[in-house]
Amino acid sequence: MSQSFYLRPIALADSPQSEEGGAVRLAGGLVYASRFALIEREGGKIVARQRYSVAELKVALPDMPNAVRAQWDDLQRSHSALQCGSRTIRLDQPQVAGILNVTPDSMSDGGQFMDNPDLANAHAATMAEAGAALIDVGGESTRPGAAAVWEGDELKRVIPAVERLAAMGIAISIDTRRPAVMEAALAAGAHIINDVSALRHDPRSLEFAARAGVPVILMHAPGEGEDLHGGAAYGDVVLDVFDWLKDRRDAAIVAGIPREKIVLDPGIGFGKSLADNLALINALPMFHAIGQPLMLGASRKRMIGALDNEAGAHQRLGGSVALAMKGLEAGVQLLRVHDVRDTVQAIRVWRGLRDAALTDFSQLPT
C-alpha cells in the first residue's frame, strides 16, 4: 500500500521576529510560517496528522522520511526570476499577470477584444501601465461546456495580438494547449507557455516546450482531451492535486524542461466543486512544498458568484480581490487577473503592511 507525506504550513506569521525566530520564510518571499502539520496518507486515506513548531520540526527531521526532509527544503526554496526577453519578472515578491482573451465567448469580456485590435491594444497597454508584469493571451475559452476551437482559428486570434504586444515591449505568455500555437506565438514574440492541460493535451507538447527552452506554467485539470473539467474524482482534493502537480513537474523535468522554468497552478474552477476550490485556496501555502513558483487564477471565477447570490462575472471584483489577497497571504508569486489596477493596488497596500511588520523591532524579545 502506497505511503505519502505532506508538510502543510498551518500558522503564518507577519515576520520572523514576531515569533522570536520561530518562523521560516516560505519560497523566498514575504510570508513566514511558524507551525506545520505533517500528514501521512496510505492508499489514499489519511492515517496520521501531527503538528510541529519550527523548533520541534528541526529536532524531528533527521529521523523523518526523505520525502518530508525534501518538502521542508522546498518550502524554503527561493526561485529564480523569469526572463522574458529584455524583461525580468522577479519571484521574490508577488506579480500580476493580466488576462487578454481574444475569443468570441469569453466568460468575462464577451469577445470584445477578438475583432477590435485597437481596443485590445489599449486594454493591454492599460494593464501594463497599471502594473501587470505579464499579459496572458488566450484564444480558446476553457469554461465548462465551451465549444472546441480549431487550431487554425486559435492561430488567427492570438498571433496578431501577440505581435502587437511584443511590439509594445510587453512580457507575454500564451495560454494554449496546442504545440503549433505555442510555436507560432513564441515566434511572434511570446515568452512563456501557459498550458491549462499541463502539456498533456498533445503528446508533442512536452518535447516542444523542452526544445523551446522557455518558462512553462502547468495547471491542474482532471479532464483529458477536449473536456478539461470531466473525470474529477478526488479522495482528498488538496492532497490529490498536490500529487498530480508534483507528477507533472517531474514529467516536465524528465522531458528536459529545467526545474527553474516550471510554474504550477492548482487550477481553480477546473473540474472542482465550490468546496474543492475553497479547500485548495485555504491550502495554498502547502503547495510551496513541491518547490516551484505558484500561479493563482481565481479572478471572476464562478465560485465567487456561488458565494454571492450568483453575481455575474462583471460583479465579482470584490471577490476577485479577496481571493487575490488570500493568494498573497499564502506567498503565491503570480496572480492571473482581469482587474489589474485594483489587484495591483491591493498588492501595494499588502506590501506596505508586510514591510512595516518586518521592520517593527518592538516585536523582538528584550
Pair 20, 99 in one domain: no
pLDDT along the chain (366 residues), means of 10: 92 93 96 98 95 97 97 98 96 97 69 73 95 96 77 93 96 97 98 97 96 98 85 94 98 98 98 98 98 98 96 96 98 98 98 94 70
Question: Do the beta carbons of residue 319 and residue 359 sit within 8 Å?
Answer: no
Pair 22, 166 in one domain: no
What are the two backbone dihedrals, phi and then psi, of residue 146, each rounded to the nearest 5 degrees?
Answer: -65, 145
CATH code, domain carrying 168:
3.20.20.20
Domain closes at, from 37, 55, 75: 75
Question: Which residue, 98, 102, 99, is CA-closest to 115?
Answer: 102
Pair 146, 9 in one domain: no
Cβ neighbours for 204, distance < 8 A, ≥ 6 positions apart: 179
Residue environment code for 19-29, b if the CB has 16+ CB neighbours within 10 A, otherwise e: beebbbbbbbb
Pair 188, 65 in one domain: no
Pair 337, 284 in one domain: yes
Q: So what's the pLDDT on residue 111?
A: 60
Q: Please calculate the CA angle 323-328-334 and round it to the nearest 5 degrees.
A: 90
Count of CA atoms in the C-beta half-sphere (13 A) of 68: 22
Pair 126, 263 in one domain: yes
Cβ neighbours for 362, distance < 8 A, ≥ 6 positions apart: none
Pair 127, 65 in one domain: no
Residue 57 sits in which domain range? 3-75
Q: So what's the pLDDT on residue 311?
A: 96
DSSP-assigned letter for residue 133: S
Pair 172, 244 in one domain: yes
Please report whether residue 364 resides in a domain: no
Question: Which residue, 82, 79, 271, is CA-closest to 173?
Answer: 82
Please report whether residue 137 resides in a domain: yes
Please report whether residue 298 resides in a domain: yes
Question: Do the beta carbons of residue 248 and residue 218 sit within 8 Å?
Answer: yes
Q: So what's the pLDDT on residue 112?
A: 63
Pair 143, 254 in one domain: yes
Domain closes at, from 25, 40, 75: 75
Pair 250, 113 in one domain: yes
| Residues labelled catalytic | 301, 336
Pair 150, 42 in one domain: no
Pair 40, 119 in one domain: no
Please report whether residue 248 resides in a domain: yes
Per the structure, the count of domains in the chain is: 2
Residue with cell string 505511503 = 3
- CA distance to 96, 125, 161, 308, per residue, from 169 (Å): 16, 10, 13, 39
Please report whether residue 237 resides in a domain: yes
255: which 3 cell numbers?
A: 522531458
